[in-house]
Amino acid sequence: MKRELMEKEGMNKESMNSESMGMEPMQNNQKKNSRWLLTTLIAAATALGLSMTALAGGVMPEAITGTGGVNSREGYSKLFDASIGTKWCTSGTDPYVIFKLPAAAPIRGYTIVTGNDNRTYWGRNPQSWTLYGCNADSDPAWEYGGWEVIDSVQDDEVLQDQNSIPYYFELDQQAPAYQYYLFQVDKKKGGFMQMAELILDYDGNGQVLQNVVAGSKGMNISEGYQKAMDGKASTKWCTNSTSPYLIVKMSSPVSAEGYHIVTGNDNSQYKGRNPKSWTLYGSNADTAPEKNDDSWEVIESVENDTTLKDVNGTDFHFSLSQPSKAYRYFKFEVDERKSFITQMSEFSIEFSGSGFGFSALNGTSADSSQNSSGSASTGTLLCGSCAGRGDNHCFVCQGQGTVNGALCGNCGGAGRTKCTACNGKGHL
């Protein structure tokens, strides 16, 4: 589509540069020193269990048009759905998305959040891209002549094959105020390209990153508190702590209106692991408060809960009787357990305009628009061979979809093959 448009307008990749688009690009190509430092800090935070993983949003950008996804659940609109549990995944040539803000705003930078399965599907981050802006009188198309270059990145080395990690790209100088934006992927690393979220940095932005920064130790290294916000029902936080807790940090204070709890991926087999009674707290401490810090204020308490059921990977939504005051930190603390072990797959704070989504056990995307009566649950046990995905990494093309420039004959270019253990269902 892109090449056809450029030929129609007498353009090509070489001529579609900063001069032809209306302005000199801000000299931001790579900023290797500062971005490498950011990547190092993020890697260190990840190792310490501080990785930012869950996303919620206030006033979200509106997706206008773009390159379609590989299926109806992975289209470009997922870049702005306030959830790292969903993603834009496309095999299209020169992928792009056009979106707009509620009003024109000057941006300082932008954040790209990697897909929640990048460690499984390697090489799907964009490699080179350009961010454009404009102030058209109506929704512009890709071929609109008024797009102006904001930032251009060539052969990026910052984005890593890590799950649900935000990478911030700072501009050398603040961009002019634009209402419309075009994110153009100029070069892919392989047959597929994916991103979970795209967030612009400007004053008044309602998009908020929330991440779990502390919690009770898991039963093992793969069941730590970080798993409570990794966007996947196939993983879980599982602990034998006598007083389990999670501490969540928001990138800016928000007023909580509720929260989501997704049950463990094997609750139907191991019953009695849902929390029984708990309290939600808020704090505006300068730094992440300790579990027993005096700054915690009670938001809501639940006693002898009967809402959570022993079903697998199911989203249960809890609304507050009234919105809380705005807090930077939230603590979810279990006051009474049902058994020796407590577990959950996902946890998320809900606030005005926010969304919540995750990868369900059956391989589809579940979000908060679905009800909590079992929409995300398989009702059976997760397939251990494919971890609930329904497919496995193609060993012939190593997930790239191509071999020596041709479509892989083993997977037909998909990079994945159907799991034979569960016959592609993801559950047994």
Query: How does pLDDT run across 139-171, given as a tens digit for each residue?
Result: 999 999 999 999 999 999 999 999 888 899 999
Is the CA virtual torsion 339, 341, 342, 343 positive or negative? negative
Q: Give 4's pLDDT tier (boundaries 50, 70, 90).
A: very low
Q: Give 81's pLDDT tier (boundaries 50, 70, 90).
A: confident
Q: Give 393's pLDDT tier (boundaries 50, 70, 90).
A: confident
Query: For position 39, what pLDDT does the model report?
Result: 42
**Which residues are registered as beta bridge partners of 198?**
112
Whole-Å CA distances, 167 to 86, 124, 209, 340: 17, 15, 12, 38
Higher pLDDT, 327 or 374: 327
Q: Stretch 372-376: mean pLDDT, rounded?
A: 37
* CA pair distance 69, 194, nearest whole angstrom: 9
- With a cut of 90, say whether residue 44 has pLDDT above it: no
- With a cut of 80, say whether residue 315 has pLDDT above it: yes
* Global confidence as pTM: 0.67
Higher pLDDT, 229 or 367: 229
CATH number for the domain whose boundaries are 2-30+59-205: 2.60.120.260
- With a cut of 80, say whether residue 88 has pLDDT above it: yes
- With a cut of 80, say whether residue 26 has pLDDT above it: no
Domain with CATH 2.60.120.260 in the chain: 2-30+59-205, 210-367
Task: Classify domain 210-367 by CATH architecture.
Answer: Sandwich (2.60)
Q: What are the DSSP calls for 335-390, one per residue?
A: EEESSS-EEESEEEEEETT---EEE-TTSSEEETTS-TTTTT--SSPBPTTTTTSS
Answer yes or no: are the C-beta atoms of 377 and 311 closer than 8 Å. Answer: yes
Q: Taking all residues of the chain, what is their mean pLDDT, rounded to a whole number?
A: 82
Query: For position 156, what pLDDT does the model report?
Result: 97
Of the chain, the percentage scoring pLDDT greater than 70 comes to 78
**Which residues are registered as beta bridge partners of 96?**
184
* CA pair distance 266, 328, nearest whole angstrom: 32
- With a cut of 60, say whether residue 424 has pLDDT above it: yes
Higher pLDDT, 315 or 370: 315
- With a cut of 50, say whether residue 7 has pLDDT above it: no
Q: Stretch 405-427: mean pLDDT, rounded?
A: 76
* CA pair distance 78, 231, nearest whole angstrom: 14
Query: For position 58, what pLDDT does the model report?
Result: 53
- With a cut of 90, say whether residue 211 has pLDDT above it: no
Across 112-128, b (16+ Cβ under 10 Å) vs e yields bbbbbbbebbebbbbbb
* CA pair distance 426, 226, nearest whole angstrom: 23
Query: For position 383, what pLDDT does the model report?
Result: 57
Of the chain, the percentage scoring pLDDT greater than 90 comes to 58
Query: For position 86, what pLDDT does the model report?
Result: 83
Q: Stretch 266-271: mean pLDDT, rounded?
A: 95
Predicted confidence (pLDDT) per residue in 271-283, tens digit: 999 999 999 999 9
* CA pair distance 233, 376, nearest whole angstrom: 9
- With a cut of 70, say whether residue 20 has pLDDT above it: no
Higher pLDDT, 422 or 336: 336
Query: For position 23, what pLDDT does the model report?
Result: 39
Query: For position 3, what pLDDT does the model report?
Result: 30
Contacts of 156 (CB under 8 A, 6+ apart): 30, 125, 126, 127, 128, 129
**Positions of E strands within 115-244:** 126-134, 148-153, 166-170, 177-188, 193-195, 197-201, 207-215, 237-239
